Amino acid sequence: MRCGIALGSNLGDRLAHLRAAVAALRLLHAGPEPPLVSPVYETEPVDCEPDSPAYLNAVMEIRCERGALGLLRALQQIEHREGRPAAHDFHAPRTLDLDLLYLGDTVLQSPALTLPHPRIALRRFVLQPLADIRPEFILPGHTQPVAELLAGLPASPGVRLFPQNVQ
């Protein structure tokens, strides 16, 4: 199944954390074609503590044979290897944040995970990089392609293309 993952970092060497995540996610990729990796964006923090540092954000799509909760556990292990504590405040700055955006056509609501990600259509820092790799993709439970969802969001100077990539 196609699986979208949002990558974010706003502590330490942000680009190195994203690159380590991309390398680890490539190991989870089960398809013959290469995974899709978006450009990197520098973004203002959303719903974070005051004076939180800016984020680097990207989106990666892999093919995955794991179930949703197994994949979630794998993402949490990658975060932990990059220095994110297992117990953390919800909106605290972080070395690495990996959010499962979608997993095929799966629609899931559990205490551990909601798919597709419940705020994906509201967040430019997620939709912009996703639109770079999958503009025509229609998320489960939505009727508009990602590019149209992005176009419907208010303009934001807080999402800027970063000059370096994670590849």
CATH classification of 2-161, choosing from 1.10.1040.10, 3.40.50.2300, 3.30.70.560, 3.40.50.970? 3.30.70.560
Q: Which two tokens stand for residue 16?
A: 């190195």
Q: What is the pLDDT of residue 88?
A: 57
Report in angstroms the alpha-carbon separations of 1 from 6, 61, 66.
16, 10, 9
pLDDT in tens, 111-120: 889 889 888 9
Q: How many CB atoms lie within 10 A of CB 148?
A: 15
pLDDT in tens, 33-47: 999 999 999 998 877
Q: What is the pLDDT of residue 83?
A: 82
Q: Which residues are catalytic?
A: 84, 94, 97, 99
pLDDT in tens, 88-98: 565 777 889 99
Q: What is the pLDDT of residue 39?
A: 97
Q: What is the pLDDT of residue 125?
A: 93
pLDDT exceeds cutoff 90 at 55? yes
Q: What is the pLDDT of residue 90?
A: 59
pTM of the model: 0.92
User: What sign does the CA torsion over 22, 73, 124, 16 have?
Assistant: negative
